[in-house]
């Protein structure tokens, strides 16, 4: 059994990973908005690439997996 300090460390680690996995897709949306506003292919391309990476990180996050997993929704 883990002691309270170790549990707190795991909780903070999971929370930080979740925050980072949310920041990256938000930054991708900001880059896409810049690309549309300035009609810049550079910002649009960067936004798509960063968005793809952010989506992978978000889907791979165990905290977000239950909200994003549609395979088990038919059981409800």
Per-residue pLDDT tens digits for 30-44: 999 999 999 999 999
Token code pair at residue 7: 């549990």
Per-residue pLDDT for 68 more than 70?
Answer: no
Angle at 61 between CA 57 and CA 66, to 5 degrees: 130
> Are 53 and 24 in contact, with CB atoms under 8 Å apart?
yes
1 confidence band (pLDDT: 50, 70, 90) = low
Determine the pLDDT at residue 47: 95
CA distance 53 to 27: 11
Range with lowest mean pLDDT among 5-9, 34-38, 47-51: 5-9
Determine the pLDDT at residue 45: 95
Determine the pLDDT at residue 19: 83
């Amino acid at each position: 059994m883990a002691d309270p300090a170790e549990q707190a460390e795991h909780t903070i680690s999971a929370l930080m990973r979740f925050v980072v996995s949310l920041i990256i897709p938000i930054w991708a949306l900001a880059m896409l908005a810049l690309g549309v506003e300035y009609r810049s292919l550079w910002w649009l391309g960067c936004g798509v690439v960063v968005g793809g990476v952010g989506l992978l990180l978000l889907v791979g996050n165990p905290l977000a997996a239950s909200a994003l997993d549609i395979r088990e929704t038919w059981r409800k």
